[in-house]
Amino acid sequence: MDKTRILILGGTREARRLAAELAKRDDLDILLSLAGRTETPVRQPVPVRIGGFGGAQGLADFLTAERYDLLIDATHPFAERISANAAAAAARSGVAAIVLVRPEWVPEPGDHWHIVSDIPAAIAALGPAPRRVFLATGRQGAHHAEVAPQHFYLVRSVDPVEPPLLLTDVAYVLDRGPFTLEGEIELMRKHRIDAVVTKNSGGSAAYAKIEAARLLGAKLIVIARAPAVAMTSVETVEAALEAIDHLLSSPMKRGV
């Protein structure tokens, strides 16, 4: 019997967990695709492909040529272009598709949220007075801070920011989550942080900085997500597994 072929667009912890669960089955052929933006990706439990596909049509052609039965978008909630290409590719190729996306964080009592649309708007929202800012958006887009050099910036990323920011008052931390509440409080106290800039990534691995900001009374400038793509959506790995089982029990495979 031919195995069901599944392509997972990954790069998140959820993608890795999902791939690990699916790898236990002998009726599936799994390929995990990574964009290649991280210099030292985490070891994955299934075969990995690194690099882009050449846009939506390139991905559609790949799905068709390699005879994939299911596409799973488990990329970061802010990988908007990849998710848009995935939705378009699934529609063009006729391949079934689901998107696994973490629930958004929501403000809680004691939070001081200011919601913005993107990183430039977040930097502008810091205001003209000098602040001590934890820029927790990763290295992509960190250069936008250069327009507001009056602030101190603590920049955390998995890989180094290259080239370094053209700022005189900046510190870098290279680290990969998950992060603990105790560690985030210690980091923010050490650098006397009074404002945190973060994307609304959702999930638990990076939530500790939200809690730390709440406890320390720091302002939270939160970058909102773009509208969701038009694909069947699930919020957890467990829900994704159920959706996959449902799809596999229906006549979805090519030639059926």
Strand order in the sheet with 70-73: 48-50, 28-34, 4-9, 70-73, 96-100, 232-234
Global pTM reads 0.89
Domain ranges, residue 158: 113-223
Between 39-48, 90-99, 146-155, the lowest mean confidence (pLDDT) is in 39-48
Q: The tokens 């695709």 sit on which residue?
A: 33
**Residues 67, 51 within the same domain:** yes
Q: What CATH number does residue 117 fall under?
A: 3.40.50.720
- Spell out the residues 6+ positions from residue 256 whose beta carbon is closer than 8 angstroms to its own: none
- What is the rounded distance in angstroms from the CA atom of residue 26 to the CA atom of residue 3? 8
Is there a single domain that holds both residue 45 and residue 81? yes
Mean residue pLDDT of the chain comes to 93
- Assign 250 a pLDDT band (cuts: 50, 70, 90): confident
Q: So what's the pLDDT on residue 205?
A: 87
Q: Is the dihedral of CA 4, 249, 247, 74 positive or negative?
A: negative
Residue 70 and residue 7 in contact, taking contact as beta carbons nearer than 8 Å: yes
Model pLDDT, residue 252: 56
How does pLDDT run across 201-232, given as a tens digit for each residue? 998 889 999 999 999 999 999 999 998 888 89
Residue 40 is predicted with a pLDDT of 65
Whether residue 254 lies inside any domain: the answer is no
Indicate whether 48 belongs to any domain: yes
Task: Report the percent of the chain where pLDDT is more than 70.
Answer: 95
Instruction: Show the CA angle centred on residue 121, arms to residues 120 and 126, nearest 5°.
Output: 100
Is residue 255 situated within a structural domain? no
Q: Which one is predicted more confidently, 187 or 44?
A: 187
190 and 135 within one domain: yes
Please check whether residues 235 and 209 belong to one and the same domain.
no
Q: Are 120 and 218 in the same domain?
A: yes
Same domain, 94 and 132: no
- Confidence check: pLDDT of 256 > 50: no
What is the mean pLDDT of the segment spanning 227-244?
Answer: 92
In this predicted structure, what is the pLDDT of residue 248?
83
Domain identity same for 56 and 93: yes
148-164: pLDDT as tens digits: 999 999 999 999 999 99
Kindly state whether residue 253 falls inside one of the protein's structural domains. no
Number of compact structural domains in the chain:
2
Angle between helices 237-248 and 13-22 in degrees, nearest 10? 40
- Give the mean pLDDT of 46-62: 95
210 in the same domain as 120 = yes
Say which amino acid occupies 198.
T
pLDDT in tens, 59-71: 999 999 999 999 9
Surface-to-core class of residue 128, CB atoms within 10 Å of its CB (0-12 exposed, 13-18 middle, 19+ buried): exposed
